[in-house]
Structure 1
Amino acid sequence: MRDRFLTGLIGYPIAHSAAPAMHEQAATALDAHCHYQLIEVAGAGRDDLRAMLEGVRRLGFAGVNVTFPYKEAVVDLLDELTPDARAIGAVNTIVVDGTRLVGHNTDATGFARAIAPLLATKSRGAIALIGAGGVGKAIAFALAGLGAGEIRIFDADAAKATELADQLQGGVAARSVATAVDGAAGLINATPVGMLPNRDTPVPDTLLHPAMWVADAVYSPLWTPLLSAANAKGATVLTGRDLAINAAADAFALFTGMTPPVAVMGNAFDAVMAARYSPSA
């Protein structure tokens, strides 16, 4: 087993990412060393992504994470996909296995663990999912795996919402925002809307009410405009914290072969958030 690991993240924008702190401090806690490199590239086309992935293959990386907007774009550039990643059609973790690049999806496993306690305590009902991109796909499959009965999907690109609904089939339908949220027990934002510097909300405040729960995949900031509005309405809210930590822990295990110290990764995440959003920051 190696005790030094080169990993990283491909995406844009990613300067806000807490991933370097989580991965590097997790390795330190296990008497190993990890360097987690942010690979921030805007507007990367297919050839750009292919070149970056070839660098990952050749430069000694154990693997890389992939985030917005490239989770779907990298899929057919890889040598292999796990069955779950293939079904979802999006990849957020790429492991270097010899000379092969293998795509995984730890958004799905991470979100399933994050949302399970909330679903266990709330009455089951329709769930409105806003966003059918890479993270939206992972969340939809996680919900289906947890036995969510009815999933209503909205995306600004209606064709993407319909495609995801067709992938999942039973109990899933593409909707407008209003019809997705109307009467829903829960609401999940799986878009980058609300991620700094953006301060918009994907759902009008008028559609929020105290009887629902609202979750956001965005964690920069933890309290997005959507969650702040939902909290003000008296709804139960779930920030992107646990999704981020769980997804990172699963990726760390894949990169290193080590059992991730989840508490250490959580503390690292919290420290990054506290430093970034403290009054003096």
Structure 2
Amino acid sequence: MRDRFLTGLIGYPIAHSAAPAMHEQAAAALGIRAHYQLIEVKGAGRDDLRAMLDGIRRLGFVGVNVTFPYKEAVVELLDDLAPDARAIGAVNTIVVDGARLVGHNTDATGFARAIEPLLTTAPRGPIALIGAGGVGKAIAFALAGLGVAELRIFDADAAKAAQLAAQLADRLAVSATSVAAAVDGAAGLVNATPVGMLPSRDTPVPDVLLRPSMWVADAVYTPLWTPLLTAAKARGANVLTGRDLAINASSDAFKLFTGLTPPHGAMANAFDAAMAARYSASA
């Protein structure tokens, strides 16, 4: 049985990522060793990404995660895609299978498990999704798979929102013309943009549009309490931070990389410790 694994993360900015701690401490809890390497590259083009992926293939990695802004750009550079990643059109996990690179999407599975308890208790109604990029696509498919009544998608790039809505047309998804149109009368709201991720202190949704009768979730986890979630909580809305999405997505990726199921507690503790250390350092 293999007992050493080299994995990592491609993206920018990623210095804040809790993934190294989660993967390495989960491995330690299983009695194996894992090194999780941050591969932080700004403004990588197609050739840059191809070179990085070739390095992953040649240097002994069992796989890597991919985050903003490369989840869609890597798709066409891979040898194969799992069915979910192919349908979504975005990849956040790449597994090295011999000489082949195979793309998966654990954002979708991770978000589905994170949001399902909230959906089972919340009133049914339209859900506003802000952001139709890599993570937005995964979240849209997760929500559609959970049988939401209607999904209203808004993105600053209207063509991206329309394209994602078209992918989900048979599941009652529509593109919205504005944030206000997406949120109006919605039972829930999900931020799938990087707005609110440090160092940004902006919000993707004006506070005036938030209501106590809705629930609000954010895919951002640095900080856990984004300006959006802070405002939503102040207005009495139910909120979901990016914590469970991050832990669940990492857990599913770990299993794809190693073939082993990571202890949830070890990953959760590592995530919480990483967040606590970051906030104490910035205080």
**TM-score range normalised by the length of the shorter chain:** over 0.9
CA RMSD for the aligned pairs?
0.8
For 1:9-41, what per-residue CA distance to the aligned partner results, in whole angstroms no more than 9, with x for missing partners? Answer: 000000000000000000000000000000000
Q: Does structure 1 residue 247 correspond to structure 2 residue 249?
A: yes
Return closer, same or farther for 1:280/1:191 CA change in 2, 3 Å cut-off.
closer
Distance 1:148 1:10 in 2: 32
Partner of residue 268, structure 1: 270
Distance 1:167 1:151 in 2: 12
Distance 1:111 1:246 in 2: 7
Distance 2:40 2:26 in 1: 22
Distance 1:102 1:279 in 2: 38
Partner of residue 73, structure 2: 73
Distance 1:7 1:148 in 2: 35
Once the 2 structures are TM-superposed, how far is the Cα of residue 232 of structure 1 from its aligned partner? 0.6
Q: Name the SS of the counterpart of 1:278 in structure 2.
A: helix
1:233 to 222, 232, 235: 235
For 1:242-276, what per-residue CA distance to the aligned partner results, in whole angstroms no more than 9, with x for missing partners? Answer: 00000000000000000111110000000001111
Distance 1:122 1:68 in 2: 30
Return closer, same or farther for 1:98/1:195 CA change in 2, 3 Å cut-off.
same
Q: Does structure 1 residue 112 correspond to structure 2 residue 112?
A: yes
Letter in 2 for 1:235: A
Return closer, same or farther for 1:280/1:76 CA change in 2, 3 Å cut-off.
closer
Aligned sequence identity (%): 81
Letter in 1 for 2:65: N
Greater displacement, 72-81 / 258-267? 258-267
Q: Does structure 1 residue 97 correspond to structure 2 residue 85?
A: no
Return closer, same or farther for 1:280/1:85 CA change in 2, 3 Å cut-off.
closer
Distance 2:152 2:9 in 1: 30
Runs of 4 or more off by more than 2 Å in structure 1? 278-281
Partner of residue 207, structure 2: 205
Once the 2 structures are TM-superposed, how far is the Cα of residue 279 of structure 1 from its aligned partner? 7.0
Distance 1:91 1:78 in 2: 10
Return closer, same or farther for 1:229/1:75 CA change in 2, 3 Å cut-off.
same
Distance 1:169 1:246 in 2: 27
Distance 1:192 1:222 in 2: 13
Partner of residue 174, structure 1: 175
Letter in 1 for 2:102: V
Partner of residue 41, structure 2: 41
Letter in 1 for 2:220: V
Partner of residue 8, structure 2: 8
Partner of residue 184, structure 1: 186
Distance 1:151 1:66 in 2: 26
Distance 1:279 1:90 in 2: 34
Letter in 1 for 2:152: R
Distance 1:26 1:55 in 2: 25
Distance 1:206 1:10 in 2: 36
Partner of residue 224, structure 1: 226
Letter in 2 for 1:66: V
Q: Name the SS of the counterpart of 2:13 in structure 1.
A: coil
Once the 2 structures are TM-superposed, how far is the Cα of residue 280 of structure 1 from its aligned partner? 6.6
Q: Name the SS of the counterpart of 1:68 in structure 2.
A: coil
Gaps of 5+ in 1: none
Counting only pairs closer than 5 Å after superposition, residues 16-165 of structure 1 correspond to structure 2 as: 16-165=16-165
* Aligned length, in residue pairs: 281
